[in-house]
C-alpha cells in the first residue's frame, strides 16, 4: 500500500485496481464486508450500519493522500469507517454526524477500553449497576413495536443495562449492546429477526416449531461473548487528536490546517437512516430522532444545496496541496428515475466560486453489488464514484 501523496488518476488506479481486478477475476467476490473481514479491525464490526463504506477503500484513500500526523475530517462520518482507519494510521481526526447511532458507534470505536481485561472490568461494573434498576423497568412505557422483538425479561435486562451505560457515559458497552440487539442467531437478544434493518422473521421461524428462539436470552453472557469478538483484532494505538461531534454537517466547526476531507455524503436520502436503524436508535434515547432528511419534492436540488453548503464551509480550511475526497453514489429509483450524483458534485466544484482553486485529480467508479443494498428489491445506489479534488 502506498504511503506517499498520490496526485493523479493513474496513481489512484494503482491503489484501487487490485480490489477491482479481484472482483472481476472471482465472480464470488463482492465489495461486501466479507472481502476483508479476516484482516479488518474487529472494532469495525461492533454493530451493523447501512451504507457502510468498504474499509479497504477508506484505508487506500487515507494511505494514498495523507501522511502520519495529518488532519483528516469526515463531516458525514456514519459508523466511523474513515476516521477509525485514519486514527489507526496515526492521523488526527475530526468526525461529525447528525444521527445519534452513527455518533455513538464512532465514539465507541475511537475511544475504546485499553484492552479486553479493562472492557470486562467495565462490563462487570455496569452490569452490577444495572441490577439496581432492573425492577424499575416498566414495559408498559415501551412502545408495542419494540416489545414485539423481545422476551419481556430479556427486554428488562437490556433496558436496565442501557440505562447503566448512559449513567456511566460508556459508549463502547452501549455499542456492544446494540451490536447484539436483533438477529436470528443464538448469540443475539431478540426473537428471530433480520440483522441490518429490523423486522421479525416469525413466518420463517414460527413459534410452534422454534420455541427455543422465543425463550428468554441471557444478556450478560452474550455481552461477554461480544467483548471477546470485539477485541479479537482491536485498534489500541491512535493519533493524538480524536474528536467526534453530534452535529449537522452544514454547521461543522471551522477546523484549520485540514490535509484531507474524506467523506461519503448521503445519497439523496436513498437510505432511510432513521427507519432502517429504528430499533437501535430507540434504545439509544428511547425515542426516534426527527432527522435532517433532504426535504421537498426536488431531492436533486436539496442534495446540491447540502453539498454546496458543506463544501464551501470546509474548503477554505484545507491546506494548499490538500484534498477534498468524496465517495458518492448514483441513485436509481425504478426503471426511469436516475440521478448521476457524481456529475452534480463535479459541476459544483467547477462552477461554484466558493470552491475555486480545486482541481479534479482522480475519479474512480465501481459497481455496488446487490448484496450490499439493504432493500430486497435491489433499488437504490447501483454504483459509487470516488472523486479526488486537490487544492492547487
202 and 90 both lie in a single domain: no
332 and 362 both lie in a single domain: yes
221 and 151 both lie in a single domain: yes
* C-beta atoms surrounding 187 within 10 Å: 12
* HEC per residue, 5-65: CCCCHHHHHHHHHHHHHHHHHCCCCCCCHHHCCCCCCHHHHCCCCCCCCCHHHHHHHHHHH
> What CATH number is attached to the domain comprising 326?
3.40.50.150
Is 160 contained in some domain?
Answer: yes
120 and 107 both lie in a single domain: no
User: Can you give the pLDDT at residue 21?
Assistant: 43
User: Residue length, the chain?
Assistant: 392
Distance CA 366, CA 343 (A): 15
CA torsion angle 47 50 55 56 (round to 10): 140
* C-beta atoms surrounding 272 within 10 Å: 15
Query: Parallel, antiparallel, or unpaired for β 258-263 and 358-367?
Result: unpaired
Is 1 contained in some domain?
Answer: no
222: part of which helix (H) or strand (E)?
Answer: helix 219-230
Is 4 contained in some domain?
Answer: no
Q: Which residues contact 254 (CB under 8 A, 6 or more apart)?
A: 313, 317
* HEC per residue, 277-343: CHHHHHHHHCCCCCCCCCCCCCHHHHHHHHHHHHHHHHHHHEEEEEEEEEEEEEEEECCCEEECHHH
Main-chain dihedrals φ then ψ at residue 139, nearest 5 degrees: -70, -15
63 and 82 both lie in a single domain: yes
* Secondary structure class of 265 (helix, strand, coil): coil
Domain closes at, from 230, 252, 279: 230
Cell numbers given for 239: 493519533
375 and 278 both lie in a single domain: yes
Is 36 contained in some domain?
Answer: yes
Distance CA 237, CA 160 (A): 32
Domain closes at, from 230, 262, 295: 230
Is 2 contained in some domain?
Answer: no
pLDDT digits (tens, 9 = 90+) for 141-180: 999 999 999 999 999 999 999 999 999 999 999 999 999 9
Residues of the chain with pLDDT under 70: 1-37, 268-270, 291-297, 331-339, 367-382
User: Nearest to residue 50, comparing CAs of 324, 381, 313?
Assistant: 381
Is 262 contained in some domain?
Answer: yes
67 and 202 both lie in a single domain: no
33 and 173 both lie in a single domain: no
Looking up cell 442467531, which residue turns up? 185
217 and 251 both lie in a single domain: no
Domain closes at, from 206, 230, 254: 230
The CA distances from residue 76 to 52, 61, 98, 248, in Å, are 12, 16, 8, 9
265 and 386 both lie in a single domain: yes
Distance CA 310, CA 252 (A): 8
Cell numbers given for 121: 472490568
* Helix axes of 278-285 and 152-168: crossing angle, nearest 10 degrees: 60
User: Can you give the pLDDT at residue 49?
Assistant: 92
Q: How many domains does the chain have?
A: 2
221 and 164 both lie in a single domain: yes
Cell numbers given for 255: 477546523
292 and 378 both lie in a single domain: yes
**DSSP label at residue 193:** B
Identify any residues that bridge with 263 across adjacent strands, giving them in sequence order. 326
List b or e across 19-41, with b for residues whose CB sees 16 or more CB atoms inside 10 angstroms.
beeebeeeeeebbebebbeeebb
Cell numbers given for 374: 439493504
User: Can you give the pLDDT at residue 382?
Assistant: 63
Boundaries of domain holding 363: 9-111+237-391
Cell numbers given for 139: 414495559
Is 47 contained in some domain?
Answer: yes
Is 221 contained in some domain?
Answer: yes
Give me the half-sphere count of Cα atoms (radius 13 Å) on the Cβ side of residue 69: 0
Amino acid at each position: 500500500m502506498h504511503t506517499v501523496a498520490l496526485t493523479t488518476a493513474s496513481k489512484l488506479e494503482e491503489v484501487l485496481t487490485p480490489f477491482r481486478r479481484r472482483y472481476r477475476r472471482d465472480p464470488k467476490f463482492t465489495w461486501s464486508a466479507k472481502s476483508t473481514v479476516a484482516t479488518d479491525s474487529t472494532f469495525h464490526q461492533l454493530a451493523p450500519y447501512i451504507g457502510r463504506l468498504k474499509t479497504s477503500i477508506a484505508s487506500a484513500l487515507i494511505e494514498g493522500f495523507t501522511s502520519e500526523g495529518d488532519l483528516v475530517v469526515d463531516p458525514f462520518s456514519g459508523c466511523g469507517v474513515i476516521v477509525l482507519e485514519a486514527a489507526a494510521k496515526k492521523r488526527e481526526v475530526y468526525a461529525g454526524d447528525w444521527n445519534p447511532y452513527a455518533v455513538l458507534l464512532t465514539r465507541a470505536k475511537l475511544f475504546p477500553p485499553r484492552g479486553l481485561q479493562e472492557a470486562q472490568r467495565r462490563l462487570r461494573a455496569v452490569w452490577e449497576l444495572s441490577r439496581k434498576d432492573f425492577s424499575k423497568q416498566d414495559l408498559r412505557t415501551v412502545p408495542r413495536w419494540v416489545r414485539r422483538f423481545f422476551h419481556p425479561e430479556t427486554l428488562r435486562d437490556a433496558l436496565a443495562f442501557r440505562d447503566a451505560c448512559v449513567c456511566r457515559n460508556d459508549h463502547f458497552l452501549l455499542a456492544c449492546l446494540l451490536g447484539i440487539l436483533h438477529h436470528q442467531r443464538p448469540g443475539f437478544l431478540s426473537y428471530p429477526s433480520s440483522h441490518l434493518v429490523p423486522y421479525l422473521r416469525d413466518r420463517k421461524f414460527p413459534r410452534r416449531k422454534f420455541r427455543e428462539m422465543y425463550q428468554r436470552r441471557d444478556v450478560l453472557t452474550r455481552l461477554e461473548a461480544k467483548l471477546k469478538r470485539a477485541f479479537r483484532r482491536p485498534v489500541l494505538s491512535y493519533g493524538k487528536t480524536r474528536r467526534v461531534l453530534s452535529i449537522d454537517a452544514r454547521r461543522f466547526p471551522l477546523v484549520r490546517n485540514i490535509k484531507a476531507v474524506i467523506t461519503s455524503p448521503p445519497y439523496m436520502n436513498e437510505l432511510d437512516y432513521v427507519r432502517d436503524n429504528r430499533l437501535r436508535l430507540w434504545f439509544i434515547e428511547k425515542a426516534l430522532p426527527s432527522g435532517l432528511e433532504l426535504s421537498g419534492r426536488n431531492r436533486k436540488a436539496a442534495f446540491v444545496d447540502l453539498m454546496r453548503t458543506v463544501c464551501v464551509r470546509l474548503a477554505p480550511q484545507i491546506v494548499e496541496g490538500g484534498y477534498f475526497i468524496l465517495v458518492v453514489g448514483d441513485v436509481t429509483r425504478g426503471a426511469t428515475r436516475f440521478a448521476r450524483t457524481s456529475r452534480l458534485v463535479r459541476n459544483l466544484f467547477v462552477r461554484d466560486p466558493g470552491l475555486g482553486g480545486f482541481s479534479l485529480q482522480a475519479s474512480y467508479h465501481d459497481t455496488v453489488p446487490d448484496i450490499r443494498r439493504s432493500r430486497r428489491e435491489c433499488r437504490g445506489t447501483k454504483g459509487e464514484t470516488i472523486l479526488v479534488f486537490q487544492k492547487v
